[in-house]
Amino acid sequence: MQNGRKRNWGPSVMGDGRTSFRIWAPDANAMTLRLNDEDIAMARDVDGWHEAIVANVALGARYSFVLPGGQAVPDPAAQAQAGDVHDASLVVDHDFYHWQNENGRGRPFAEAVIYELHVGTFTEEGTFLAIIDRLPHLAALGVTAIELMPVAQFAGNRGWGYDGVLPYAPHPAYGTPDELKRLVDAAHAHGLMIFLDVVYNHFGPEGNYLNAYASSFFDEARQTPWGAAIAYQREPVRRFFIENALYWLDVFRFDGLRLDAIDHVRDPQSEPEVLVALAAEVRRSLPERHIHLMTEDNRNIVALHPHHEAGQPSLFTAEWNDDFHNVAHVIASGETDGYYRDFAKDRIPMLARILAEGFGYQGETSHVTGEKRGEPSAGQPPTAFIDFLQNHDQVGNRAFGERLLSLAPQPMVEALTVILALSPHVPLLFMGEEWGERRPFCFFTDFEGDLANAVREGRRREFADFAAFGHDGEALAHIPDPNDLATFEASRIDWNARGSDDGAYWLSFWQKLLALRSREIVPLLKTEWQGGLVQHADETMLVVSWRFSEGSLSLVANLGDQPRSAPDWPENPIFTHGEIGNGTIGPYTVSIAWTSS
């Protein structure tokens, strides 16, 4: 029952075949290991770690930890559960799975085209194994990496995964640990990288028992938008998350992790802070593989993404670039409610700056918060930014989960898609986007009782200030109930739509763009990066260039509905969508050109 490299948290097989069960419970003077039907006393050290070492532990053995008052709780580092998040944990044998692709080292991030998916709604079955049958479709599309929304076990059967409470246990509704390994193995067989979204900023509202025996796991002085903040300055807490990152990368062989909302992973007292320590240990532990660590961070900072002289990241690889999405969404849809207010003015110049320099906000004051946001990012290579027109957040956090094609004219979406696919930034698609999916992706949960009611009402309050609702109780009541099974079922993507005329058009469009990216853009990204430049930007048109050691890549786009005077432009651009020539660039036209040094 080898569990990868030695860890502080979770069961570990020792050299003599015995198994060590450990839990950090500083609030408890004594703890008992309940292994199957036997209670075994645990030894406590001065730091609050309790341990029991047991011989001949069988694969699949049930175990839990019993508090002094008699309450049995699951292992917070359980690798599988016998049932739901309240049930006993299971001993897992990670040597039982025989890998078919032993030598997979991953791929350089310059080659990344990321496809984000939710396991439960990507297929009718909603399982790890069902995804395997769809991998040929993704490989043929031109995707090079799939990114799973969080799979750590959460309460109930259905949910987005961001309220997980057992970060080491794959969610049983999706499949077993070995079935998740089969998915990773199959992705590698198709030449695909596979990334995992992990949540280190909070625990979900149901099934987290840490406060019962380790209250110091949490920081009483701080709250996150989702609950109690975590005390990362304490060594057992740091190890819980650092070991979790290594567990997914080492034991399950994921090629990378996307860390959710790290602006709420705050550790100012530590040197190094937990995020730096995590990235450094990953780099140190797995030097032979292409491992990619991605962040979501509303602060627009660059300190966590330093790069070596050769351009390789030394800590985190890339940042989800919300600024790109937000300004593109405002350009496409005209919506300026909520956080879109920050992108309501100077939209095209903002998009041009993002393409050339990375972030849109680089220290300017946000109109929404009244505070300065961001820092200069022009020195970052373009592969430090992951751009998208849609993702789970930006679609699912709408009241009705509408896709972009339901909100904006198709010619505009096509033009923005060309920019997304062919800029030097790393593109990300959200499942179904490749065939122009129209089904919504809604926010859904599987809670009961008061918690279900609180989530439903909280969801409606969230949209009360939006112009479309204007505190209209009747309108708010039509927002889909997150806990209704129908909300989940309506969010499944429609694979049959691929065969429609519209679906076939979008599939061909994406395939053409991603083939072009692989052939023309990716080789440039492996050369020396020398900076980006906004050459022109006004109300509807932009011109941006990116300099590499071997020449310059340039993009011109007219995102208006009227023709414009065009800049001087090469006669044989790499690609043009729309019309450009004779001094004119047509509506919703994008052209990409290459000039050698």
Name the band, by pLDDT with cuts 50, 70 and 90, for residue 248. very high
Average pLDDT over residues 228-237: 96
Phi, psi of 389 (to 5 degrees): -100, -25
Task: Give CA–CA dist 27/67, Å, rounded.
Answer: 10
Each residue's pLDDT tens digit, 195-227: 999 999 999 999 999 999 999 999 988 999 998
Residue 238 host element (H or E) = helix 235-250
Cα–chain-centroid distance for residue 560?
A: 32
List the alpha helices (DSSP H) in 483-560. 485-490, 501-516, 522-525
pLDDT at 469: 66
Residue 375 has a CB neighbour count (10 Å cut-off) of 14
Q: At what angle are helices 501-516 and 410-422 packed, to 10 degrees?
A: 30
Directed axis angle between helix 322-333 and helix 347-357, to 10°? 150
Complete DSSP assignment for 298-336: TT---TT--B-TTS-BSS--EEE-HHHHHHHHHHHH---
ω into residue 272 within 30 of 0, thus cis?
yes
Among 59-63, 95-99, 583-587, 591-595, where is mean pLDDT lowest? 95-99
CA distance 67 to 409: 59
Say if residue 593's pLDDT is above 50.
yes
Whether 34 and 67 have beta carbons less than 8 Å apart is answered as no
Provide the pLDDT for residue 477: 78
Lowest mean pLDDT among 310-314, 356-360, 482-486, 539-543: 310-314
The count of other CB atoms within 10 Å of the CB of residue 504 is 14
Spatial distance between the Cα atoms of 351 and 94, rounded to a whole number of angstroms: 47
User: Exposed/middle/buried for 147, CB within 10 Å: 0-12, 13-18, 19+?
Assistant: buried
**CA dist., res. 434 & res. 321, Å (int):** 20
pLDDT number for residue 558: 98
On whether the CB atoms of residues 412 and 588 are closer than 8 A, the answer is yes
Tally of CA atoms within 13 A in the half-sphere of 563 that contains its CB: 11
The model's pLDDT over 104-131, given as tens digits with 9 standing for 90+, comes to 789 999 999 999 999 999 999 999 999 9
Question: Which residues on neighbouring strands pair with residue 545, listed in sequence order?
Answer: 533, 554
Q: Which residue has the higher pLDDT, 308 or 372?
A: 372
213, 28 Cβ separation under 8 angstroms:
yes
Compute the distance between CA of residue 72 and CA of residue 87 in angstroms, rounded to an integer.
9
- The per-residue pLDDT for 2 is 46
**What six digits make up the tokens of 86?**
């309240």
Side chain identity at residue 241, one-letter code: F
Would you tell me how many other CB atoms lie within 10 Å of the CB of residue 84?
Answer: 16
Confidence of residue 5 (pLDDT cuts 50, 70, 90): low
Tokens of 283: 């780099």
pLDDT digits (tens, 9 = 90+) for 496-546: 999 999 999 999 999 999 999 999 999 999 999 999 999 999 999 999 999
Q: Which helix (H) or strand (E) holds 247?
A: helix 235-250
pLDDT at residue 472 greater than cutoff 90:
no
For residues 92-109, give the mean pLDDT: 87
Q: With a threshold of 0.95, does the pTM exceed it?
A: yes
More confident residue, 267 or 464: 267
Q: In the predicted model, is pLDDT for residue 480 greater than 70?
A: yes
Rounded-to-integer distance, Cα 178 and Cα 313, Å: 31
Q: Is the pLDDT of residue 1 over 70?
A: no
Domain boundaries, the chain: 12-90, 111-200+254-267+290-447+483-514, 528-596
Which residues form the catalytic set?
Answer: 260, 296
The stretch 566-580 carries a mean pLDDT of: 95
Same fold, 12-90 and 528-596: yes
CATH of 111-200+254-267+290-447+483-514, one of 1.20.210.10, 3.40.50.280, 3.20.20.80, 3.40.1370.10: 3.20.20.80
Mean pLDDT of 355-364: 98
Whether 47 contacts 26, CB under 8 Å: yes
CATH number of 12-90: 2.60.40.10
Report the CATH architecture of 528-596.
Answer: Sandwich (2.60)
Q: Quote the mean pLDDT of the chain.
A: 95
Beta bridge partners, 544, equal: 534, 555
> What are the C-alpha distances in Å from 72 to residues 50, 62, 88, 128, 211?
15, 12, 8, 30, 14
